[in-house]
Chain A
Amino acid sequence: MIRTVFLALAAFFAFASPAFAQLPGQPLNAQHTLHSARAAVAPGETFTIILRQQINEGWHTYWRNPGDSGEPTQLTWQSPNGWQAGEIQWPTPEAIPFATLVNFGYEGEILYPIELTAPANARVGDAANFTVEIYALVCADICIPETSIATLSVPIAAQGRDDPQWAPRIAEAVAALPRREQGVDARITAGDPARISVTLPNASAIRNVRFFPFSADVLVASEPQNPRVGAAGASFELRGGIAPDIGQTPVQGVVAYEIEQGGAWVHRGVEIEAQPGEPLADTDAAPAPMSSDYPLAELEGAAAPSSAAPMDVTAVLLAMGLAFLGGLILNIMPCVLPVLSVKALQFAGGGHASETRKHGFFYFAGVMATFLALAGALIALRGAGEAVGWGFQLQAPWVTSALALLFFAIGLNLLGVFEIGGSLQNAGGELTQRGGSAGAFFTGALAVIAATPCTAPFMAGAIGVAITQSALITLLIFTALALGFALPLTLLHFAPALQRLIPKPGVWMDRAKQVLAFPMFAAAAWLAWVLAEQAGSSGVLSLLLVASALGLVLLTLRWGRVWLIVGVAILAITGALTWRPLVGVETQSVLEAEAWSDARVTELQGEGRGVFVNFTAAWCISCKANELGALSSERVARAFVDNNVAYLKGDWTNRDDAIAGALARYGRAGVPLYLYFPPEGGEPVILPQVLTDSIIIDTISGAQQ
């Protein structure tokens, strides 16, 4: 009713003031006017008008998909008979972050093109009068829904003609609209997360690129998209969407970006419809560049700010120089020095110059090949969209574990616990003994593998550059690193004068070897700590158990076949029991425990609930075995829920008199102790120290009946 009155009023005012009407009362945060590209239109003509939205500083309105919150601007037309008003044509939106949320919308002055069509029977000489009610949600930190009216009067003439003021501006606004374009192909690839890849002819020149879907259900606006670009286009990750078939059905939207035009960066977009399929090639070589003022830079984790500015030759050379220096220094890192020292000690005895040079060449080849293989792996992983850096290998618990065991074994070898063949002078295992040339090659490879956990000064910077640049530059930098790393020992092979500096063999050699074992153990200890971060205390326990078994095998190796079989059997059993945390299989506790106290038990029993109490300690192996076994089983967790049984844990890892008291009450001096307090009250059931699924389930459900 009120609206009708306003519309009538507005229509009335339209004659007096051609294109503007406003609600009384509060000043609006967004002003709206209508403008036509045509000063006059012919009957039957389709022409473009714009809704001009002028938003106050600090406020914004919304795109067709508003993002995390908000609502798009909506129009209700009152058109003369027979006139057709088209939909709002949405300009490329911006991502507008607020606290932890992200909205899609507009700031400043926005021109929304709209198409109008005159009926063929429009009377020449008349004017068509339009009134539109604009409902716009305008937000700063707070939101205000604003309703306003705008009007437009268009004269009808036999010959249409452009409006000299507005025609060019409107043409510009239309030209800037995101559209489907030739040569722009898009795919959506199912996965976790799903990925959108798009071919963009100008991919190498854009920054601040982001995907804006038309549907709110395919992604959450405030989730990072980790945009990446390649020579052929860009790609994005879709996270948080709730549509059930993401990746299986086409997804439409706009890819927005900034591109340089006439010396300034302008905001542009292209409309896409991504069809399900494999990702398009060359769309994800490197993280997409972001400007320092890009509001989502932090969200998108712009780790290397404006990384993609292609490096010039001097910058590449500088990075290579740093990498070379870093490689040199890597030789004296504790992970590497022992391996190389032992190699160097070989020269103490002297040897045939030609043979030595040949070994030098193969050592060099081993280092180069291994480094380039690592660079290849890094490039491949990066291509697959992984965020990798130096040490990326260590992000997998099994690699950490394997390296720790390798260092431990090398340490044992240096101590003389075991020897392969006659001796492990090359510290490279059997292969290093074979023939000599192959041995030298594998010493190089082993040295590089041993070096992976160590980052030398200078190297970090160079690798930081390498991982943000193109594959070619990555390879160049790794080559420089490998050259620096290989140089000292290779030189030693080729320079008899240097070899002579090494003293004659003697007791000192054995002592040096044994001392060098300890940096290896230290490196292994550090890796165990890394593993603790990755796989928790159970991971470290597994590693140490496997290491013990491995030590036994290595020690008994030379005692004959029977011992070998025994040792290997023990190693196999240990491995079988403990491999899970080492390869990163999570043994997550499905049961949520509350801290134990006598009062809490009474309270829960008072609520009519059964209570299962687990007295445990981190150092108690049988406790942990039960917790990783029966107490982690899903069946047991379900039984707890079904029977409404509470799970309390008393942790006796550190001294605790209350727990000690409770243990004593049930005749125990230590953990584990498992108690079940039935809901009806009374004495608890004491469960055995070795739990199985069925013991627990029978106890908590049997007592329930």
Chain B
Amino acid sequence: MTDERPIAIDIRQVIKRFGDFTALKEVSLGIRDNEFFTLLGPSGCGKTTLLRMIAGFEDVTAGAIYLYDQEIARLPPNKRPINTVFQNYALFPTMTVLENVGFGLEMQGKPRSEANRRAGEMLELVQLTQFAHRKPSQLSGGQQQRVALARALAPQPRGLLLDEPLSALDMKLRKSMQIELKHIQRETGITFIFVTHDQEEALTMSDRIAVMSAGEVQQLGSARDIYEHPRNMFVADFIGDTNLVEVSVDRIGGGHATCNLGGGYMLSCEAVEGVGTGSRVHLSVRPERLFLSTERTGPEALRGRVVENIFIGTDITTILDLEAGQRFRVRASNSDRGNQRVFEPGQDVFVNMERGAARLLID
């Protein structure tokens, strides 16, 4: 996705240390105006720390954070026109829903009548008008979540931070909130920064994703980019399901690399910057980009023996041992009834690869 929208939140070489522990090692990110941006990573990767620094709950050890052209890294949270949707919502239990939503406007010095009017509008947006005079504890989890969203949006912030806001909801509600969130983001035109450890959620919602691990951004790109072209082992392994194979690179030329799997098997794939001839690296092949057959379909087909079939509703995953020694997973859609997709355990088959399915990784 080429995009020339201006940068809304610019994180420049930000470092965060807690005592001896470095939580963030020089992170730089430019989050664009009106973008749904996701920080994705396992717990402890630094994503929440980064979010809290943008919000103003943590000091930066070094570096700068710009909101449009204003440096905000040293401002207290109440001086930043950025609002947060907290993980467990943090709705004020002593106030009604309406008072919660109007709180930010009131603190900005707006008259109470205006705060109430605007809070009412926000409740309309999240369809909770009839609950305005209840206490948060009288609402369900999903409703509380929407109140938290309305409260954070009411002061019309220039950026909205969402810290795993859906993690407390059950699966069904979560799916519908994902769509609703995305919808509200489009409608309000506010820049969203969303933190999650759930890769599926990130892929569903985001314009762009920054995959983080060990205090560093591992890869930045669109959902498709990151899934189809993972840069390194971590990203390939963390996003989706994949087969990782150790190979040695025999030859590079014409933008292609020839990789040796062992046992006389060769695979060619797109060459990647940073991987030279003779290096031993990993190759990632998504299981859904493989298919099985009894006949050889091309020069690069691999031979293997079926170990087990696993039925998971929409898909069938076949586990097999390659002649070259590796164990592979192959996924076939359950709806492709035209081709033979299920092979019995013990059967010898060929594993075939779509063009460009194999991807070389930097370790």
Co-complex (A, B) = no
